């Protein structure tokens, strides 16, 4: 099977080379990598273009402005589905907190029949390295809150490292998700709640060593309100199709 890893970026110039190398070191056969960059002022897109010159399996989707990690993933999924024959789509952060060594297990889980494979910090064998007590508490509360409000059964509903079958990724790409920020992780699971087999694969989340975290207090507040709206609306999300209007071009396509 062919897998495509979709990685949103904004000011991740310091990390993209190391991420590409780490993915190479994972020795995953038949893999594509698509960076979705929101016109980072630090020149992230230029670095990705340089990398793609010697690695045709690395591509770039350049968007004209920053509109949230959720919309970046949806645009990335649409591009990957339209431009490749990927059987599996994987979402991953660019900050090296998600170990590429976990990718083979996620692919294996989808190959064994799962529709969604979550890299989980909260199942046996998983964990977190480098976080303080407050950050751990916030993560635990957020996951408990989403399970209670939305009836999700997964232990790590907010994990940003996960794999989808092409069918599940297509459903997410075409949905009108009310989640353009970090709440996208929960919204996508809620969308698939009644139609997807979700499994969790343990992994250890590590602290960022370069660049700056994009998660702020405002994002946390919006997350909790967004989950409440999903719960009280009592309805799922409608298909829309197409890419966000701020998408500019797709470069570095691999075949």
Could you read off the pLDDT of 102-123 as tens digits, one per residue? 999 999 999 999 999 999 999 9
Q: How confident is the model at residue 229 (pLDDT cuts 50, 70, 90)?
A: confident
State the Cα torsion 144-210-217-162 to the nearest 10°.
-30
pLDDT reading at 238 higher than 60 = no
pLDDT at 248: 37
pLDDT at 109: 97
Segment among 78-92, 128-142, 193-207 with least mean pLDDT: 128-142
Q: Give the whole-angstrom CA distance, residue 124 versus residue 135.
A: 20
Q: Give the whole-angstrom CA distance, residue 115 versus residue 113.
A: 7
The length of the chain is: 255
pLDDT reading at 216 higher than 70 = no
pLDDT at 105: 96
Give the domains, in start order, of the chain with CATH numbers: 3-238 (3.90.550.10)
Q: How confident is the model at residue 236 (pLDDT cuts 50, 70, 90)?
A: low
pLDDT at 112: 97
pLDDT reading at 251 higher than 50 = no
State the chain's mean pLDDT as an integer: 87
Residues of the chain with pLDDT > 70: what percent? 86
pLDDT, average across residues 163-178: 93
What 3-state DSSP class applies to 70? helix
Q: Give the whole-angstrom CA distance, residue 34 versus residue 47.
A: 13
pLDDT at 9: 96
Stated pTM of the model = 0.87
Could you read off the pLDDT of 23-57 as tens digits, one per residue? 999 999 999 999 999 999 999 999 999 999 999 99
Could you read off the pLDDT of 71-82 as tens digits, one per residue? 999 999 999 999
pLDDT at 179: 72
Q: Give the whole-angstrom CA distance, residue 231 versus residue 174.
A: 21
User: How many other C-beta atoms can be found within 10 angstroms of the C-beta atom of residue 125?
Assistant: 11
pLDDT at 230: 87
């Amino acid at each position: 099977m062919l897998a495509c890893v979709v990685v949103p970026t904004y000011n991740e110039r310091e990390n993209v080379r190391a991420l590409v190398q780490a993915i190479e070191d994972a020795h995953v056969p038949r893999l594509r990598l698509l960076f979705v960059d929101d016109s980072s002022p630090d020149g992230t897109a230029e670095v990705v273009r340089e990398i793609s010159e010697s690695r045709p399996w690395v591509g770039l989707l350049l968007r004209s402005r920053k509109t949230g990690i959720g919309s970046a993933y949806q645009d990335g999924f649409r591009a990957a589905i339209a431009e490749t024959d990927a059987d599996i789509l994987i979402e991953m952060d660019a900050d090296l907190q998600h170990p590429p060594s976990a990718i083979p297990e996620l692919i294996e889980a989808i190959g064994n029949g799962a529709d969604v494979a979550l890299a989980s910090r909260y199942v046996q064998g998983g964990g977190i390295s480098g976080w303080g007590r407050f950050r751990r508490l916030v993560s635990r509360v957020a996951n408990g809150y989403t399970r209670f409000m939305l009836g999700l059964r997964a232990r790590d509903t907010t994990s940003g490292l996960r794999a989808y079958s092409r069918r599940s990724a297509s459903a997410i790409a075409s949905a009108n998700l009310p989640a353009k920020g970090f709440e996208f992780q929960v919204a996508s699971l809620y969308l698939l709640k009644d139609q997807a087999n979700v499994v969790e694969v343990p992994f250890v989340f590590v602290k960022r060593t370069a660049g700056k975290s994009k998660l702020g207090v405002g994002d946390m507040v919006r997350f909790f309100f967004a989950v409440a709206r999903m719960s009280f609306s009592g309805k799922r999300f409608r298909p829309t199709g197409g890419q966000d209007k701020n998408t500019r071009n797709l470069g570095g396509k691999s075949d």
